[in-house]
Structure 1
């Protein structure tokens, strides 16, 4: 079968032939409906070295945002119908520790002993015609479109987890939320905040078209650049925002979010651009929290799918054939995509 393979560090992946996988005990074989291209993939093949923080090594098939139809059941698998559509929870932990017991494989306590972090991150992923996944990691999609759903397993789950933790800050009237960075995750974050809270959602980015899409989803937009923080604070009546979410994670975006905070607010840095935050007692609003999050839980992905099926989340996707996957990554790197790139191995792309 054809697949997008990460073969060596600091080198572009290749589209090549690999063996079709066979599901092991407790696994299923999925016929891939869609696989989202993520900046994490780019970091893996373009920036990582053998001494990488994730402890992963090539070769393996990329793709950790995966949806598909059950094609074959591995030994011992029951209760799953061949042909049914599912979204894949990407992280795979040890399955034994406290974190894994609550479906939070992202924070597995035995990660150092695991041979991979997730489907598509150390283990063969969904940028292929077929992929094997643990049956535990399947989230049913019912009759919802699985192709458009593919990015939800990261691009929606990651902001959902961060937002859910911040909901106490946004409970009550007159609250304000700030979304910094309106790429794939930021756009869905606006939709999630609008659906789950009554807060005024302020969204900021350097790209006018990105802000137009956020405004259509209910956000009040502020362009990046000079006067950005002053404009954000003016919307809040000078008080600042109660919860901010930085989906970039660069030094300037972190500083923008920090400067926009209200007392007892919460800033969650979600983006992994490597920026550093500065803190001092008198510069930080009293009792304002600075934290970070990584991905989300299996239970939360079920909740994300429920929102998708209810029409509360509408991913904006741009489809690519498997043979054009490298073009999808190229456009992701240059920032010219208007939606989340989704590779569709089994259907014509128009």
Structure 2
């Protein structure tokens, strides 16, 4: 991706397309009946911009599975605040300052926004914005992947929750996805043996040839996860990063070692079903005899460590110890298609919508 073009503003009012939640999605994947695109107006009049706010032109939007859990309309079913009907959807994004009412940010500055409206332009407070200084060594899409929510989630699991010993046996599900590809690489840098599960033969090759996994398997080709895990982990599993839940989690509990540690960052296999139809885990008693620790986490809880993470990850990227693979879809109009694609096996790497260059 090349440099960021200068924004030329010839009017005091900008038209901005934005995605909003038109109807809740209790089950299955969202459609155009649930997520809709509309056009709004964003004023550049100085007096109409609140103090300590900026007008941003959105450059990139990270497309992440966690948003699905916020669309159900079931308050008790959520681990994050629900999205509101008729309100613009928000996610992790990268933007360029068009107008500013704060001396610390000027026009042309590039900022990361963890609560970025899925819109072409927006007016946002400075509270969570982080200015970045792009360099040729780190292309901008990396701020949505290796330096964004996926990379930070993987780092929290590997560095803060686990900190595994060398030669530990690590298993990662959804291993070719945004979180999985970085988690595996970080675990390898710790000296671990890492195996991943993914949804296609092409992704199996990607994990082994590009991301450095010791082994990987296509879960669609495995009729019995217990047998598969026993094959790939003859000495048992010490650490498991769960991104899918369901039957895979149940099989992991049959193959863990004493004192194993399971970190749960997502349960993609369960997002599109109503609670009464979700797959249960029937062998939790294994946690007692094997003294297993299972811990769910949100990377937002660890935002006070983001600076440490970013510093370490930037070094890894510059030294090419960590690589990222992106699926970049052009235009704000592609958001719905991009989001739905997360729940298939069609993507290789982190899905990003490029709103503007």
* 1:239 equivalent in alignment to 2:235: yes
1:19 aligns with 2:44: no
Are 2:85 and 1:70 equivalent residues in the alignment? no
Report the more deviating stretch, 226-235 or 239-248: 226-235
**Structure 1: stretches of 5+ with no match in the other structure:** 91-118
Distance 1:72 1:134 in 2: 12
Q: Which of 238, 241, 248 is the equivalent residue of 2:244?
A: 248
Shift of residue 141, structure 1, vs aligned partner: 4.5
Residues 285, 241 of structure 1: alpha-carbon distance in 2 compared, 3 angstrom cutoff? farther
Instruction: Show the counterpart of 2:124.
Output: 132
Cα deviation code 1:244-268 (max 9, x no counterpart): 101112x202112222311111011
Residue of structure 2 equivalent to 1:35: 61
1:270, 1:294 within 8 Å by CA — same for their partners in 2?
yes
Task: Find out whether 1:185 has 2:145 as its counterpart.
Answer: no
Which residue among 284, 291, 297 is the counterpart of 1:287? 291
Matches within 5 A, 1:121-270: 125-138=117-130, 140-143=132-135, 144-151=138-145, 152-168=147-163, 170-171=164-165, 173-182=166-175, 183-195=177-189, 197-215=190-208, 216-219=210-213, 220-224=215-219, 225-226=222-223, 228-236=225-233, 238-249=234-245, 251-270=246-265
User: Aligned residue pairs: how many?
Assistant: 306
Higher deviation after alignment, 226-235 or 25-34: 226-235
For the residue of structure 2 that corresponds to 1:265, the secondary structure is: strand
CA distance in 1, matches of 2:344, 2:286: 39
Of 306, 312, 325, 1:301 maps to 306
- Which SS does the other structure have where 2:216 is aligned? strand
**Structure 1 contact 270–293 (Cα < 8 Å) conserved:** yes
Question: Is contact 1:157-1:300 (8 Å) kept?
Answer: no
Q: CA RMSD in A?
A: 2.9
Which residue of the partner structure matches residue 110 of structure 1? Answer: none
Partner of 1:329: 339
Alignment counterpart, residue 277 of structure 1, candidates 274, 278, 281: 281
Q: Where in structure 2 are the equivalents of 1:73-84 lying within 5 Å?
A: 73-74=100-101, 77-84=102-109
Equivalent residues of 1:268, 1:291 under 8 A apart? yes
Which secondary structure state, in structure 1, belongs to the residue aligned with residue 42 of structure 2? Answer: coil
Quick check: 1:87–1:141 contact (8 Å CA) kept in 2? no
Bigger Cα Rg: 2
> Are the equivalent residues in 2 in contact too, given 1:177–1:244 (CA < 8 A)?
yes
Q: Secondary structure at the match of 2:299?
A: coil
Q: CA deviation at 1:328?
A: 2.0
Secondary structure of 2:94's match? strand
What's the TM-score, normalizing by structure 1? 0.76
1:190 positional shift: 1.6
CA distance in structure 2 between the aligned counterparts of 1:58 and 1:35, rounded to whole angstroms: 20
Alpha-carbon separation, structure 2, partners of 1:133 and 1:147: 23
> Separation in 2 of the partners of 1:29 and 1:271?
32
* Separation in structure 2 between the aligned mates of residue 23 and residue 279 of structure 1, nearest angstrom: 56
Q: What CA distance in whole angstroms lies between the structure 2 residues aligned with 1:191 and 1:87?
A: 24
Supply the distance in 2 between the matched residues of 1:146 and 1:309 (Cα, whole angstroms). Answer: 16
1:179-234 Cα deviation digits (max 9, x unpaired): 01232222222223233x11111111232222222112111213322454445445
In structure 2, runs of 5+ residues without a counterpart are: 1-15, 26-32, 271-278
| TM-score normalised per structure 2 | 0.74
Say whether the 8 Å CA contact 2:158–2:187 is kept in structure 1: yes
